[in-house]
Chain A
Amino acid sequence: MLDFSKSPSVDQVGILDRIDRITARSLKKDAKMHGLKMALGMIDLTTLEGADTDKKVIQLCNKAMHLHDAQPNLPTVAAVCVYPNFVKTAKTALKGSEINVASVATAFPSGQSSLEIKLLDVKIAVDNGAEEVDMVISRGKFHEGDYNFVFDEIAAIKEACGKSRLKVILETGELGSFDKVRQASDIAILAGADFIKTSTGKISPAATLPVTLVMLEAIKDYYYKTGIQVGMKPAGGISNAKLALQYLLLVKETLGADWLDKKWFRFGASSLANDVLMQIMKQQTGIYQSKDYFSKD
């Protein structure tokens, strides 16, 4: 049996110092434009509301495909992220595009349910065509110290995903320390996560740069050991382009250029796209346009 009680330790002061170096970076001109376009193409455009309807999901899918048609040569977002019961709707709406459908599953966001229900949740999402599944870990079991339970659950869900890629949400805002984040990252990676993801977006704090750095370091160490790449997805609270660029710089300086691809990095966000678009237009024209020039769906 694997022992998950010992992960490499993390020094909080050092993590924050490293982030200070990243946020002091300055992106200008071509470098900024390149970063903005990259960020745009890495967004999982997300709606996860109790009030979601088919029509709302279709509107979001249209936004995903037509970010700002006035501007040619823009990438589309990477995926649209919805609840399992909207996967079919999203699949239909996105037909013909290269945009994936991602679905949260496993009794999102709390994860407080039985494995049977979680597996069924995943099965419905996958059967309906979700290319990506965003699961939540059982934080209660994790805090109880039942790490093998958490591991086994992730492994079971990975199996249920089949060919769909699995993103494992750690909900770092509920874990309490960087050491715990590191430990949860290691468990998720070893259990077969294709991506590790910070947050559901339902808990504050959601994604932060420091917590993302801790997770990137876990990905790095696993890559050193196995040569296997694992993706990263910060989610929640990333609503402006400047912050998004800082995340990308953090990825570049921690894991290198190979991770600067939507295959390995995603932003979970609902309002980031428009700010990135606005910055792209500003870079091109030299002036900021009104927010009303960018569609809100």
Chain B
Amino acid sequence: MKKLNINKGWDFAPSLESTDHISIKKQYELFIDGKWVKPTSGKYFDTINPATEEKLASIAEANEKDVDKAVKAARKAYNEVWSKMPAKERAKYIYRIARLIQERAREFAVIETLDGGKAIRESRDIDVPLAAAHFFYYAGWADKLDYAFPNKKMQSLGVAGQIIPWNFPLLMAAWKIAPALATGNTVVLKPAETTSLTALKLAELIQDAGLPDGVVNIVTGAGATGAAIVNHPDVDKIAFTGSTSVGKIIQNAIAGTHKKATLELGGKAANIIFEDAALDQAVEGIINGIYFNQGHVCCAGSRLFVQESVYDLVIRKLKDRMDALVIGNPLDKNTDIGAINSKEQLDTINKYIKIGKEEGAAIYQPTCTVPKNGYWCKPTLFTGVSQSNRIVQEEIFGPVLAIQTFRTIAEVIEKANNTPYGLSAGVWTDKGSKLFNLTSQLKAGVIWGNTFNKFDPTSPFGGFKESGFGREGGLHGLKAYLKG
């Protein structure tokens, strides 16, 4: 059989997004009560560009005292301003934030790419527009809560402590802040320590929007800072997106307290391809499912199930498609796969690739080259694996796909559900009845039909089982910040 020469001839010339228009300060303080405040410890940590390993800025490290200040500021703003403000006035501020994000979209996209390593195509076309869309969407709900929950007289909770991950820094901040503000809560938010910059730029933007002091506070730091938020007695609600292991620690910590929580944790999604699917488009869905954002996606389609009758064909098409992927400088407009977010994460991914090989699975990576500096992982797939393999069971959070075959619908449902996780799943078939049958039987919070990794502020997102609880987005996302 002849092979297609997808990655030969006619290479792209560099096409770099300009960085002239952005401003990054040398040092960032904590954003508390509407002001930039030095950390009490006087400690700072570096944030680097994972594509070059060069330092971008120093970031303040918040300790318990700083977090306490932030919570007090949030409480004061809640009591004196935000909870008393007419809802339609609250909405105006949120709309303003949304519009300012749109105005500064290019700057946010470039900084997101510099700080996190994701391809500029994604930060420009997905992260930043979606972040603005979330603010727009929830701004619209702010004065319509009585219609969202008829005859309920829902009330805000108070101070929300929010801890977000490093895979979609600005977008996760938007997911957390927008519904909290719309429902009348105030916020203490901690971005992940490797990707603080866009949250801090968002703080600048929030200042420009004239949001009353203390309504949104942003404290930077690592796990200890997050723990200080979780354990603070005057926090009414914890919203966390991150790993399942940390989620369990949080749930333990808040057990027996009044704190409400939503946890959006890990995943190991099944992406299921039936023989009657539009296979070329399914292959595109496999690519979007696992190689989007270097696989740093909690809902990534990391377990692929292909019906045996089309297995060889799908694998061949998938390999051809992988050959067309461009890996390299995230600022290049043609880059499909950017840098791995951190050294630590790269080590984790490489550990799993090693485990996959040791387990006897067959590995495939396209013959592309990666830059010398920075953290890189080629798009990878493993075949010849089964549910018993660790690379099938555990979340890798990288561009690594594990492929299994199945014969019948019953078999694939059993295997797809045979995981402690239950965040998302994908089904590919040309037959509507089959699709609806599976969506009702798969134990996952989000199920995509003939597409994957599509996000929309109107759609609730969240997991079953050890992928967490509570929903973000849509009406459900409002409810998580209300009582009554």
Identify the A interface with B (CB < 8 A): 8-11, 13-15, 17-18, 24-32, 34-35, 38, 217, 220, 223-224, 227, 248, 252-253, 255-258, 260
Contacts and interface: CB of A to CB of B under 8 A. Distances in A.
A17 B448 CA distance: 15
Contacts of A32: 13
21 contacts: A8-B278, A11-B281, A11-B450, A13-B281, A13-B451, A14-B280, A15-B281, A18-B281, A25-B12, A26-B12, A28-B12, A31-B12, A34-B10, A38-B10, A224-B1, A224-B313, A252-B6, A252-B324, A253-B6, A255-B6, A257-B6
A256 B12 contact: no
Contacts of B25: none
B2 interface: yes
B478 to A, nearest CB: 29
B15 interface: yes
A24 B11 CA distance: 16
A223 B15 contact: no
B305 to A, nearest CB: 18
SS of A interface (majority) = helix
Nearest to B429: A9
A92 to B, nearest CB: 36
A14 B13 contact: no
B125 interface: yes
A12 to B, nearest CB: 9
B281 A255 contact: no
B338 to A, nearest CB: 15
A189 B277 CA distance: 22
B5 A258 contact: yes
A257 B334 contact: no
B284 interface: yes
Contacts of A35: 10
Contacts of A24: 121, 125, 333
B210 interface: no
Contact of A14 (B2, B281, B313): B281
Interface of B: 1-2, 4-15, 121, 125, 276-282, 284-285, 288, 313, 316, 320, 324, 333-334, 430, 450-451
A34 B451 CA distance: 35
Contacts of B281: 10-11, 13-15, 17-18
B327 to A, nearest CB: 14
A269 B118 CA distance: 39
Given A14-B450, A26-B15, A224-B313, A31 B278 contact: no
A34 B324 CA distance: 18
B284 A14 contact: yes
Nearest to A16: B281
Contact of B10 (A8, A31, A217, A223): A31
A10 B428 CA distance: 12
A93 to B, nearest CB: 33
A18 B284 contact: yes
Given A26-B334, A32-B13, A35-B10, A11 B278 contact: yes
A27 B13 contact: yes
Contacts of A15: 281
Contact of A31 (B1, B13, B316, B324): B13
Contacts of A258: 4-5
A257 B5 contact: yes
A84 B5 CA distance: 37
B335 to A, nearest CB: 10
A25 B5 CA distance: 19
User: 5 smallest A-B Cβ distances: which pairs?
Assistant: A14-B281, A257-B9, A11-B278, A26-B15, A11-B281
B411 to A, nearest CB: 23
Given A9-B430, A10-B278, A257-B5, A27 B12 contact: yes
Contact of A257 (B10, B125, B277, B450): B10
A13 B276 contact: no
Contacts of B278: 8-11, 14
B319 to A, nearest CB: 12
Contacts of A227: 1-2
Given A14-B281, A224-B1, A252-B324, 16 more contacts: A11-B277, A11-B281, A11-B430, A14-B280, A15-B281, A17-B284, A17-B288, A18-B281, A18-B284, A26-B15, A31-B12, A38-B10, A224-B313, A248-B10, A255-B6, A256-B6
